[in-house]
Structure 1
């Protein structure tokens, strides 16, 4: 767990707790110009030369959520997953993860976006998405998503193999 919020009594006994997982994104290429611009509240002079490695983020992060979500479902506690809204939307899409009402969820996603402050030009995170789901939804979304058409796979393989000769 990256962080835990706990309710304790005056004797140090924990009555409730919520786990918090923070997720960044894997990238390819150099993100330093974009990172430096963001941390210095500057605009980029030109488009950055990196892209997101969505499948790697998905497979690594969702594996953690399946494992940790299972524990929380057994304990009847909640795990909160915090990430940038674009990453969250992609993970939900790739994983075919169904939503559930917050009061029935044991996994809650919080997505944020960066908003520029008009007075000082700095970028600050702002909550933009709240989605509830369950451990079962995360597992079954992966198991029951639509299969890739084999003819599409064969076509892509053929294109790759014949373009190298």
Structure 2
């Protein structure tokens, strides 16, 4: 595996503007307007938002990168789920805001907004937790319905420390690193979590539009590939059993001194049961592949012992 850092402290690695250099020097995340919270194993501020593998386009590896444009993704989800451009308000303040305006608002529960909801744990683990809950309140501040939102990028393998050190140097070099994408997490962690949480949410009387999953476009394509392709994953109208995929990719319009805008792709809504069915539909290899491999390793002709 090999790759290069593509975005560093919010700006392209090949952006040598004053804004990009200032973000590096101050270790600032421009999407949060505060110190980057991504850390290496020894606690050092990482600053890496996006990696470009040598054989593909850039892939976001920090979830905060998806919170660009003042959490635009949450507004996008709310518009799809509730069909209006309601004001988004931090959870604890939302009821009073609705009453004051005499209009519906969306209460936001999540990190840096209304705080994460306290939910019961399953066998000592927080298996029920989602990244965000968007709750539609009526003009009297009463809960009408809600949706849940999961935000995922992709973990990395290997190491990008030499690339980071190069970009921190006065020369701002960007050497190739051993970093790669941990695509196996799609099978081991992401899809099983989506299926489980989607089933939990289906039992909620007021969760009428299900679960929204927000991710970078390369992660979305990997998920769809694992599930047999987007065309085979039947689209359904929003419902309690829904899983709606929302993918984002970098805009091609890149201006030095500015962060690269993100473009949202059309949503793909299906059901948790269709996802589970596709996930369990494993394609097996040809028979006797182990025997063939052993024979080849022994120097025997294929298929003969």
Return the TM-score normalized by structure 1. Answer: 0.75
2:149 — aligned with what? 20
Q: CA deviation at 1:102?
A: 4.0
1:130 aligns with 2:267: yes
Structure 1 residues 151 and 34, CA, compared in 2 at 3 Å: closer, same or farther?
A: farther
What is the alpha-carbon distance in structure 1 between the residues aligned to residue 264 and residue 197 of structure 2?
Answer: 23
With a CA cutoff of 8 Å and minimum separation of 6, indicate the structure with the bigger relative contact order: 1
Contact 2:236/2:271 (<8 A) preserved: no
Q: Deviation above 4 Å: which 4+ runs of structure 1?
A: 31-37, 153-162
What is the alpha-carbon distance in structure 2 between the residues aligned to residue 35 and residue 129 of structure 1?
Answer: 34
Structure 1 residues 54 and 99, CA, compared in 2 at 3 Å: closer, same or farther?
A: farther
Contact 1:25/1:53 (<8 A) preserved: yes
Contact 2:235/2:270 (<8 A) preserved: yes
Contact 1:95/1:145 (<8 A) preserved: no
Q: Can you list the C-alpha shifts for 1:98-125, whole angstroms capped at 9, x where unaligned? A: 1313446711000001224336452222
Moved more, 118-127 or 3-12: 118-127
What is the alpha-carbon distance in structure 2 between the residues aligned to residue 134 and residue 35 of structure 1?
Answer: 41
1:141 aligns with 2:278: yes
Over the residues paired in the alignment, what is the CA RMSD in angstroms? 3.3
Q: How many residues align?
A: 158
Moved more, 149-158 or 139-148: 149-158
- List alignment gaps of at least 5 residues for structure 1: 38-42
Q: Secondary structure at the match of 2:288?
A: helix
Contact 2:163/2:175 (<8 A) preserved: no
- List alignment gaps of at least 5 residues for structure 2: 1-129, 167-171, 300-305
Q: Relative to total residues, which structure has the larger strand share, 1 or 2?
A: 1
Contact 2:136/2:145 (<8 A) preserved: yes
Return the TM-score normalized by structure 2. Answer: 0.44
Q: CA deviation at 1:128?
A: 2.4
| 1:37-52 matches, cutoff 5 A | 45-52=174-181
| 1:1-165 matches, cutoff 5 A | 1-31=130-160, 45-75=174-204, 76-96=208-228, 98-103=233-238, 106-115=242-251, 116-118=253-255, 120-155=257-292
Q: Which has the larger radius of gyration?
A: 2
